[in-house]
Amino acid sequence: MIYLDSAATTEVFSEVLDALKNIHQEYYANPNSIHPDGQKSRRAVEEVRRFLAHITDAQEEEILFTSCATESNNTVIKGLAEAFPEKNHIIISPIEHKSVLNPVKYLVKKGIKVDFLKVDRNGIVEIDEIQKRITPKHCL
């Protein structure tokens, strides 16, 4: 079989699968629970958060864990608009994934202005088109 949708998902390396199996067997409890197993899981999550903050030069509170790309995209797109209300303009391609387009459509209802850039038959946006539209009002 030839798999051509690696943009959506791809096979997991066996080393990653082994590590995940061990983690799921030892740290299976809800990390938001107050019982000992939950707190053990919480400590593991916080250890990973510290590690990721260290290697990315971020603050620990800046590291968020989400369950999927859709949740991540919604968090970032809506979060940027909320964090910077004075920046009420978005530039986007009309061929983005629905997990990007849907929160942008939601923000349009909230008053955010959106420019949809034209793409060529290969899905490429002209850099000049982006540069022409960028203003200090853009949040994304």
**Domain boundary assignment for the chain:** 14-62, 69-133
What is the per-residue pLDDT for 9?
78
> What is the average pLDDT score of the chain?
91
Checking if the pLDDT of 90 tops 90, the result is: yes
Checking if the pLDDT of 35 tops 80, the result is: yes
User: What three-state secondary structure class fits 128?
Assistant: helix
Q: Give Cα 122 to chain centroid, integer Å.
A: 24
60-73 pLDDT, tens digit per residue, is: 999 999 988 899 99
Helix (DSSP H) and strand (DSSP E) numbers for the chain: 5, 2
CA distance 87 to 77: 12
